[in-house]
Amino acid sequence: MMMEEITAAFPAIEILQNEPLAHYTHTLTGGPADYLAFPTNVQETKSLLAYAKQENLPVTVVGNASNLIVRDGGIRGLVMILTKMNKITSDGQTVTAEAGAAMIKTTQVAQAHALTGIEFAAGIPGSIGGAVFMNAGAYGGEISEVVTSAEVLTPEGEIRTLSNQELDFGYRHSSVQDYHDIILTATFTLKPGDGVAIQATMDDLNAKRAAKQPLDLPSCGSVFKRPTGHYTGRLIQAAGLQGFQLGGAQVSTKHAGFIVNIDHATATDYLNLIHHIQEVIWQEDQVHLETEVRIIGEEPTQK
C-alpha cells in the first residue's frame, strides 16, 4: 500500500515503483529502486526527504548517474533522481546551477556569457550535484577551483549554504560525502573572457576526449582514481588487461581506464571485472587501485 500513500502525498511528482535503475545509469546496468522519485524543485525534494524520514525509508540521491554503478540487487527505500532540477542562471561573473543541471550545459551557459575558468568541464557528462559531490575534474582543472558555494539539504531537513572552504574539497572528495547532504544548487565564480576563445578551448578539449575515450559505448567514466606516481590506464595496459572481458563488461580497447558495456553487461560483471583488475595490478605492481566510480545498492539475491 506504500506506493498508493506516496503518490497520494505527492500527486505532482513523478514516482515509480520497482523501477530498474539500468534505465538511468550510463552503464545501462543496475537493479530496481523500491520507489523512484523525480522532484522538480527544492521544496519537493525537502518534502520527499521529510516523508521518507517519517516512514523510516532510506533515501538515496542520484544525479546523471554517469560515474555510478548500482549493484544488481537495486536500492531499498526511496531514490531521488534530481535531473528535473536543472535551471542555470548567470549574474555578472557568477553562474548558478541546480543540482540536476548537466555540467556540459553549465559550461555552455558560461561560454554564452563570455565567462572563463570552467572550460575544463566542457565534456564531463555528470550533473552539477555529482560534480560537486565528487569534486570532478579534467584536463588540469577541478570543480573546487571555481565553486564559490553550494546550497545543500542536510539529512535533518535543514537548508544550508556551504562555502568553498566548508565543502572541504580533496581529490574526488567533498564534505558532502561525509555528512550525506543533498546538493541543491552550486554557484561558480568565473572571470570575464572572450566567448570565441572560450569556445575554441572547449572544442579542443572535447576533440581530445573523443579521440581518447570510448564515448560511443556505455561506461561509468573513469573507473579508478589515479594512484600516486602512476597512470591507471598505463598500468592496466602493461598488465595485458586491455580488451579483457568478464560477462558483457570489457576493459576498453580505446582507453584502459574505462570499462565498457559491450554485450548486455550486468553490474555484477562490472564489479567482477573491477576486482579482477585490482587483484592483477596489485600482484604485478603492488599498487592498490582505488575506485573513483561510486558503487551503491545491494548485492543480488542468490537464487
What confidence score (pLDDT) does residue 303 get? 55
pLDDT tens digits along 233-246:
999 999 999 999 99
> Hey, is 125 helix, strand or coil?
coil
Distance CA 287, CA 158 (A): 41
The predicted structure's pLDDT at residue 2: 84
How sure is the predictor about 167, in pLDDT bands with cuts at 50, 70 and 90?
very high
Q: Provide the pLDDT for residue 1.
A: 56
Task: State the residue for C-alpha cell 567482477.
Answer: 272
pLDDT of residue 276: 98
Domains observed in the chain: 2-81 (3.30.43.10), 88-210 (3.30.465.10), 214-296 (3.90.78.10)
The residues annotated as belonging to the active site are: 172, 222, 292
pLDDT in tens, 215-264: 999 999 999 999 999 999 999 999 999 999 999 999 999 999 999 999 99
**What pLDDT shows up at residue 301?**
82
pLDDT at residue 156, as a whole number:
94
The share of the chain scoring above pLDDT 90, in percent, equals 98
Length of the chain measured in residues = 303
Per-residue pLDDT reduced to its tens digit, 101-127 = 999 999 999 999 999 999 999 999 999
Q: What are the φ/ψ torsions at residue 202 (nearest 5 degrees)?
A: -60, -45
d(CA 85, CA 89): 13
Would you say 132 and 150 are in contact if contact means Cβ atoms under 8 Å apart? yes
Residue reference for cell 535503475: 21
**Residue 245 burial by Cβ neighbours in a 10 Å radius (0-12, 13-18, 19+):** middle
HSE (side-chain half, CA atoms, 13 Å) at 57: 23
Over residues 37-55, the mean pLDDT reads: 97
What is residue 46's predicted lDDT score, i.e. its pLDDT?
A: 97
